[in-house]
Structure formats: structure tokens, C-alpha cells
Amino acid sequence: MIDLGVHMIDLAVWLMGNPKPIAVTGATYTKFANNDISDSVHSQFGEKQENGTFDVEDLAIGFIRFENGASLQIEFSWASNIGEEMNFVELRGARSGSSIKKGELQIFTETSGQLTNISPVLSKKQVDAHGEHIRHFIDVLQQRVEPSLLRRSQQTLAFAGFLHLKT
């Protein structure tokens, strides 16, 4: 959860318009780390150390409800018996939905009463989003700008503006 999970939650909540959470439930599991009987390749991750500490969970799942009626289901795992590891974000609204999988954006909506799948062609231009965040942080520290929680790359802003999802 601490590794990749927080970033994916941040992205999903931001794409939802930063609604206020009102309830959260979740669970974490460590089933592969110290499992001598599993034949999963994940059970062999790293080398065991006498009196060593394994400080990350195999799986974290959760559910977040928001004040505006929206909800977010989360699942993060680095070790699971599944067919394929994949990072993705799916949003589902009353008028449209979207999916970002393997770096590809798809938008699902209706046009003139017909279901429509849209696959935008996004710019391949590299965006230094991390650098933008660091420069913004320095500008805030030097009191040149006010802090902004909504700073993202222009591609992400365009994507979020296009969706206008309603719960």
C-alpha cells in the first residue's frame, strides 16, 4: 500500500474531483513472505534473514465512500496467484466511464443514443511531472506561489476535463 497504492489512490481521487471521504474500510495480508510451502515465484522474493523483518504486505484491499455518493474500490498486490500483474484505474459515472490500462486511455460513453468507445491518441511528448512537483514545492517554500494540491501534467488535466463524470 505504501509503495504504489498511495499514488494510485491519489490519482483516482483526483480524477474523481477530490471528493471528501466519509468512510474507509480495508485489510492487508502477508501470505507469501514467510511461506515455505508455496510454489509461487512470489514466495521466493528476496532472501530470508535470521530475525529479519518483512515490512510490506502482499495484498491490500479497501473501499472508500465519499460525501458526494461516489465510492472507490482499491486492490494492491505485489504477490498474488493471478494471471497477470497490471496497474490500472477505472472510473464509472452515470454519463461516461474510463479505463487507463497499460498506458492506454479508453473512454466509454453514449453518443446520439449509441454506446461509444473512444480511444484518444495522446501526445507521446515526455512530461517531467516529478520535476514540475519539485519546482512547485520550491516555489511554495520561497513564498512565490500558494500550494496547489491539483498540480498535474497537462495530459491528465485534459483527460479529467474531458470526462466530467457524475456519480
Q: Tell me the per-residue pLDDT of 87-124, one tens digit each, with 9 for 90 and over.
A: 888 889 888 999 988 878 899 999 999 999 999 887 77
Give residue 127's domain range: 87-167
**Are 91 and 137 found together in one domain?**
yes
**Are 30 and 65 found together in one domain?**
yes
CATH number for the domain spanning 15: value is: 3.30.360.10
Name the amino acid, one letter, at 100: I
Q: For 103-109, which contacts have Cβ atoms below 8 Å and span 24 or more sequence positions?
A: 105/159, 107/162, 107/163
**Are 33 and 79 found together in one domain?**
yes
Query: What residue ranges in the chain does DSSP mark as E strands?
Result: 21-29, 59-66, 71-77, 88-92, 96-101, 104-111, 114-118
CB-CB contact of 72 with 9 (8 Å): yes
Question: Is this model's pTM higher than 0.75 or not?
Answer: no
Predicted confidence at residue 165, as pLDDT, reads: 37
C-alpha–C-alpha distance, residues 108 and 160, integer Å: 14
**Are 119 and 48 found together in one domain?**
no
Last residue of a domain, one of 85, 116, 134: 85
Predicted confidence at residue 66, as pLDDT, reads: 92
Q: What domain count does the chain have?
A: 2
**Are 74 and 106 found together in one domain?**
no
C-alpha–C-alpha distance, residues 114 and 68, integer Å: 28
Last residue of a domain, one of 68, 85, 102: 85
Let me know the angle formed at the C-alpha of 88 by 5 and 134, rounded to the nearest 5 degrees: 55
Low-confidence ranges of the chain (pLDDT < 50): 151-167
C-alpha–C-alpha distance, residues 97 and 1, integer Å: 25
